[in-house]
Amino acid sequence: MLSFDHFNFNVLDLERSVAFYRQALELEPVREKTAPDGSFRLIFLGDGETGFQLELTWLRDREAPYDLGEQEYHLAFRTDRFAELLERHRAMGCVCFESPDMGVYFIEDPDGYWIELVPAEK
């Protein structure tokens, strides 16, 4: 058997990121791991529907923002509440790109990662 398990984003402020993903995408922590010496902390977020998880990694000694290159990758969510979430994300001020022709939009998390929202019928 081979199956997807999780995807990782490195973050500068773990609590801020967990709060963002909870508010924006209703993701909740499902497990955590902290290094015995406190050098890193991992929080895995789940959607309560699938087994796929988003791993947020915080490194104690990291102070500079992460270099995300040219943003040629992203995480995507499919939803049957597209209009509702678009309204929420606009109110949060995190919509960074809308493509009405394609019928999708992107939000940006506190560390600059882009997340695509796709309507269920796409």
Hey, which residues are catalytic here?
Answer: 116
| Whole-Å CA distances, 53 to 19, 70, 83, 84, 113 | 16, 24, 24, 23, 16
Instruction: Provide φ and ψ at 71, rounded to 5°.
Output: 55, 40
User: What is the secondary structure of 31-42 as a DSSP string?
Assistant: EEEE-TTSSEEE
Question: What CA–CA distance (Å, rounded) separates 74 from 105?
Answer: 12
Instruction: Provide φ and ψ at 13, rounded to 5°.
Output: -130, 100
